[in-house]
Amino acid sequence: AQSVTQLDSQVPVFEEAPVELRCNYSSSVSVYLFWYVQYPNQGLQLLLKYLSGSTLVESINGFEAEFNKSQTSFHLRKPSVHISDTAEYFCAVFNFGNEKLTFGTGTRLTIIP
C-alpha cells in the first residue's frame, strides 16, 4: 500500500530563518506530488505541485520543493520564513498505479518572532 510520511509533526522556526519540511513516499510507479497549506481555521489550498519536467518547483510566496526520485522524497523548503507562513503543511501523492491520492499526516509550522 502506498504511504506518505511526514517525519515532523511540528516544526518551530525563528522568523527569517530557513526551514525544510520533509516528505517521503513509497511508490514504484509514476506519481504526481503536491504540497498543500492549511492556514488556521481554513481549508487546504495548493501550495505547489510536481507533475513532470524540472524536478524543482516553486510557489509564488517563496517556497520550493524538489522531487528526488531515487530517494522518493519531495521536501519543502523556504530560505527565510515570515510570521504569515504559520500554518499546517500537507504532502500528497497521486499514484498512477492504483489511481489513489494519499495525504501525509501534516507538519505544523510555527514561526517564532
Partner 1 sequence: NAGVTQTPKFQVLKTGQSMTLQCAQDMNHEYMSWYRQDPGMGLRLIHYSVGAGITDQGEVPNGYNVSRSTTEDFPLRLLSAAPSQTSVYFCASSYVLQGTQYFGPGTRLLVL
Number of residues this chain uses to bind partner 1 (CB under 8 A): 20
Residues 58-77 that bind partner 1 (CB under 8 A): none
Question: 57, 65 in Cβ contact below 8 A?
Answer: yes
Closer residue to partner 1 (CB): 17 or 51: 51
- The reply to whether 90 sits near partner 1 by the rule CB under 8 A is yes
CB of 68 to partner 1, least distance (A): 20
Give 94's strand partners: 32, 101
- The DSSP code for 29 is S
Residue matched to cell numbers 513509497: 26
- Residues between 91 and 110 with contacts to partner 1, criterion CB under 8 A: 92, 94, 96, 99, 101, 103-106
Task: Map residues 2-31 to x or -, x wherever contact with partner 1 holds by CB under 8 A.
Answer: -------x----------------------
What's the one-letter identity of residue 7?
A: L
Whether 87 and 37 have beta carbons less than 8 Å apart is answered as: yes
50 lines the binding site for partner 1 (CB under 8 A) = no
> Please, are residues 20 and 77 in contact by the beta-carbon 8 Å criterion?
yes
Separation of alpha carbons 51 and 31, rounded Å: 8
Task: Report the interface residues with partner 1, using CB under 8 A.
Answer: 9, 32, 34, 36, 42-46, 49, 90, 92, 94, 96, 99, 101, 103-106
